[in-house]
């Protein structure tokens, strides 16, 4: 199947889920709609990034992925900000707001149909040879294996943003202002992604990942030790900067390393194992929060980041440099 249609299907599932949120009268309907939305996110990510790799000159891959990540993060703060405004104007009418969310979703689908192009596959009279299922989880390149392992370690160090929200509540920030924490983080993330992406075209991406890990460790330390509104604000800025220095950079490294005919597979494998690690990270952080305290959760994240940093600068990951 052409990658464009997988991207369309992935975003389409997100759009289709919106009416179910609007009409939901019970938790199972909300759960099902959310499930479809997340399936769509998983479906579209790998083919979308593979298309970017195919249509972008190699010398500006960093800028391309930085721009994609910047716009993605921009949606993460413009959307909630707009929803908050509509809640105020429409007297907290959630159902109408979910119907309104269909408008940008439909515009996105139209844009995919008329504006997204992918390179045509080379014509051949030979029929493609089916691959065994296990081959889709086999990366022959040592660099790709190292990237997947590194993505797992990063995900273990960077648990769910929900813990930042909980820490903000612990710090005494008013409940009405807590959503602004995530808006601010995504604003920093958006502003930082493109400049860091451009740097990846000029510098070794590994250096940017090292910087991202240092920012993450510092952010974790601030959240763990400085539970005040000022500390939360500084931690959020550092967290957003670390996302800008790492998220798009991984995409650049996968695009440069994966074989031309298996880029989508490489992105999918990376996202799969990173997602599993993110789930494990949330469980570990939650256990530490409940059994020891909030500082332990962020301390655990800093420890995983330190391990990632040590491995990234070791010989094991020399293939990435």
- Residue 228's SS3 state is coil
How far is CA 316 from its chain centroid?
25
Q: Give the C-alpha distances (Å, rounded to integers) separating 210 from 131, 162, 200, 214.
A: 36, 24, 12, 6
100 Cβ partners below 8 Å, 6+ apart?
A: 86
How far is CA 319 from its chain centroid?
24
Does this model's pTM top 0.85? no
Taking residue 272's Cβ as centre, other Cβ atoms within 10 Å add up to 16
Burial of 304: CB neighbours in 10 Å, binned 0-12, 13-18, 19+: buried
d(CA 215, CA 238): 6
The first and second tokens of residue 256, run together, are 């440069």
d(CA 109, CA 13): 11
Average pLDDT over residues 150-167: 84
pLDDT at 218: 93
- Max distance between CA atoms of the chain, in angstroms, equals 67
pLDDT in tens, 257-312: 887 778 888 888 888 888 888 888 888 988 998 898 888 999 988 998 898 888 88
Q: Which domains does the chain have, with CATH numbers?
A: 3-115+141-320 (1.20.1250.20)
d(CA 18, CA 34): 9
pLDDT in tens, 204-247: 888 889 999 999 999 999 998 888 888 889 999 999 999 999 88
How far is CA 206 from its chain centroid?
18
């Amino acid at each position: 199947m052409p990658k464009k249609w997988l991207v369309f299907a992935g975003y389409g599932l997100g759009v289709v889920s919106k009416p179910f949120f609007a009409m939901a009268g019970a938790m199972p309907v909300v759960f099902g709609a959310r499930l479809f939305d997340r399936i769509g996110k998983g479906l579209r990510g790998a083919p979308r990034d593979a298309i970017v790799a195919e249509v972008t000159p190699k010398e500006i891959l960093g800028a391309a992925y930085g721009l994609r990540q910047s716009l993605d993060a921009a949606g993460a703060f413009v959307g909630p900000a707009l929803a908050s405004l509509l809640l105020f104007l429409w007297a907290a009418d959630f159902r109408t707001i979910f119907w309104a969310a269909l408008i940008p979703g439909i515009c996105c689908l139209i844009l995919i149909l008329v504006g997204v192009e992918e390179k045509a596959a080379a014509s051949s009279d030979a029929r493609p040879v089916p691959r065994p299922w296990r081959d889709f989880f086999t990366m022959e390149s040592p660099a790709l294996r190292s990237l997947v392992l590194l993505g797992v370690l990063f995900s273990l160090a960077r648990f769910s943003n929900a813990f930042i929200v909980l820490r903000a509540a612990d710090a005494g920030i008013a409940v009405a202002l807590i959503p602004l924490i995530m808006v601010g983080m995504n604003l920093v993330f958006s502003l930082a992604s493109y400049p860091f992406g451009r740097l990846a075209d000029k510098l070794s991406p590994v250096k940017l990942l090292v910087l991202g890990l240092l920012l993450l460790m510092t952010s974790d330390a601030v959240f763990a030790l400085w539970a005040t509104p000022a500390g939360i604000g500084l931690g959020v800025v550092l967290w957003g900067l670390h996302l800008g220095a790492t998220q798009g950079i991984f995409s650049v490294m996968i695009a440069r390393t994966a074989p031309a005919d298996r880029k989508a597979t490489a992105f999918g494998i990376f996202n799969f194992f990173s997602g599993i690690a993110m789930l494990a990270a949330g469980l570990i952080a939650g256990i530490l929060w409940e059994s020891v305290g909030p500082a332990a959760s962020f301390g655990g994240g800093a420890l995983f980041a330190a391990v990632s940093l040590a491995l990234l600068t070791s010989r094991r990951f020399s293939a990435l440099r």
